[in-house]
Amino acid sequence: MATAADDTSKPVPEVSRAGWYALILVSSAQAMSLLDRQILSILAPSIRKDLGIGDAELGLLYGTVFALFYALFSLPLGRLVDGWVRTRLLGICVFFWSISAGMAAFATSFTLLALSRLGVGIGEAAAQPAANSIIFDEFPRAKRGTAMAALGIAVALGLGLSMTLGGVVAHWWDVRYAGGGAPMNFSGWQFAFLVAALPGFPLAWMIYRMKEPVRGAMDGITAPADPHPFKASAAVLGAVTPGANWFMLWHRKAGGKQWAINLIGLAVILTVCISMTHLAQGFSPRPPIEALGLSLDPHVLQWFVVGFGAFVVLNLFQSFKLTDKPTYNVVLSPSVIMLVVVAGLQTSINYGVMGFTPSFLNRAFGLSPAETGVQFGLLSAVLGMIGPIVAGPLSDWLTKRMGGQGRVWLTIFSLCVSPLFGLWTFSAPDPGSFYLRFVFYSLILTLWLPPLYSLLYDLVLPRMRGITSSVFIIVTTLLGLGMGPYFVGIVSDRTGGDLAQAIMSINVVAPVIGVCLLVVLLRVRRDEATVIERARAGGEPI
């Protein structure tokens, strides 16, 4: 792998037209992914009214159902990204999740909506691994910060579109057909799902026909063809799925040590999750959720999902240990693990802040949902695009001068300074002051994505980027979507609805983020320089 010295002594290759075209298409796929994923939140009131379902069911659709399948299927699909034709895979997955998202337009019950979200979760599980892998084979190391910035912009654009498109389209349809006579008797929310899904079909066709880049060529490490990518992907799914993992351990003739690690690890995970369930129930008692004909304790459901994900990650690394020692040796490096943990913890902050800020504006300043949606939604989208535009080139500039440590310093600045601006922002006395302060808070907070992403995928071999992205997804999904809003919610309940205090309380993880980044700062040069050595120690034929 290239070192920092190599970066300054070698000319930087130019990005081809095919590379820029690929960046546009995979960024568009990321935007579509966020649009189809998040549009449910803005349409939730109308869905709840028309289908007669409650907030609990909507919470299951938005969080648990999506997160569970998105995280689980990201692993086998990430392995398929590393072995099959990525452009074809991404095109197929865009097509599949677009069909699933559009299926919600025809929902007349909770069941069909749940199936729609399940399909969206499975289809979108390949989006980020495939996009990252394709981009890193089209862009040289010195320009990957800029490329990652494009993905960050796409995420912000998708989030902004989900709020504006969903709200505007649904409102227009309901007003137009207020007197009845709507085609197919669609409501506005159903038409909005259909509109959101349609652009995915031509995009899927263009990505499917896009030229597949040579894997590893940009890094001078051309990866050999995988003879059985689908078999390997199925094996990953079997190895990580609770229950099936024991059959795979037996089939692979795992020794007593591996069985002990798995069973003791499961016991530890269950003990922690049961303890946290009791702690959360005492801290913030909640009534049971009535969904799917069952009465579910929300804290039990929450920690079941977290425990499920933790066991999946344990199973994954055991599978690497038994079948792919090079990946085990490379991905389990201190820098990679610390960066994934940092991303997961920071994502929990982001989801906690963004998930409850609209409610904070409503309670603290009396803004209506419409005012909040337009003002805060558009402002967040614009700032979410400006941050990566600044951070991408800045990350590349620091990389040329300091190597991987330059990216770490930028990430440290963003994630260790932003909590202070957050405290300042949520103590604002009026809406105008809040929005002004939020500009500074958001711009600093959004600087971390391009440097961390580009550094993370530079620390693994090209053939490992898909599965590394999948590990990243499952950790950030469980910690971010799974823990962030949950933590803010129970603190708010405990404090009598003080959302400002609840939102800022999630920054309790900021010191852990800082310590992890200091570890990366001290380790990154060593881990960059030993990637190939560790892969060879595991049997990689480089």
Q: In order of start, what are the domains of the chain with their CATH numbers?
A: 1-212 (1.20.1250.20), 239-322 (no CATH), 324-542 (1.20.1250.20)
Q: How far apart are CA 333 and CA 528, in angstroms?
A: 10
Task: Characterize 13-24 residue by residue with b for buried, 16 or more Cβ atoms within 10 angstroms of its Cβ, and e for exposed.
Answer: eebeeebeebbe
The pLDDT of residue 40 = 79
Q: The tokens 């500039």 sit on which residue?
A: 397
Residue range 105-134, pLDDT digits in tens: 888 877 788 888 888 888 888 888 898 889
Is it the case that residue 6 has pLDDT exceeding 70?
A: no
Cross-strand partners of 333? none
Check: pTM over 0.85? Answer yes or no: no
Find residue 289's DSSP bridge partners: 296
Confidence class of residue 292 from pLDDT cuts 50, 70 and 90? low
**Above 50 in pLDDT, residue 8?**
no
Vertex 358 angle, CA 353 and 359, to 5°:
95
Residue showing tokens 């709507």: 182
Average pLDDT over residues 482-498: 77
Higher-pLDDT residue of 425, 474: 425
Confidence of residue 360 (pLDDT cuts 50, 70, 90): confident
43-57, 147-161, 460-474: least confidently modelled range: 43-57
Least confident stretch, 407-411, 412-416, 502-506: 502-506
Distance (Å, rounded) from C-alpha 170 to C-alpha 76? 36
The yes-or-no verdict on residue 464 having pLDDT over 70 is: yes
Residues in the chain: 542
Question: Confidence class of residue 217 from pLDDT cuts 50, 70 and 90?
Answer: confident
Q: Report which secondary-structure segment, H or E, holds 110.
A: helix 110-124
User: What pLDDT shows up at residue 516?
Assistant: 94
Percentage of the chain beyond pLDDT 70 is: 91
By the 8 A CB rule, do 371 and 167 touch? no
List C-alpha distances in Å: 292 to 105, 190, 243, 357, 482: 20, 22, 23, 30, 20
**Eight-class DSSP state of 290:** E
- Using an 8 Å Cβ cutoff, are 74 and 129 in contact? yes
Q: pLDDT band for position 513 (50/70/90)?
A: very high
Mean pLDDT value across residues 202-228: 85
Check residue 449 and give its pLDDT. 83
Long-range contact pairs involving 189-195 (C-beta distance under 8 Å, separation at least 24)? 189/43, 189/46, 189/47, 189/50, 190/104, 190/105, 190/106, 190/107, 191/105, 192/39, 192/43, 192/165, 192/166, 193/39, 193/43, 193/101, 193/102, 193/104, 193/105, 194/102, 194/105, 195/165, 195/169
Check the CA dihedral 140-142-145-146 and report its sign: negative
Please say if the pLDDT value at position 94 is more than 90.
yes
The pLDDT score that the predictor gives to residue 291 is: 60
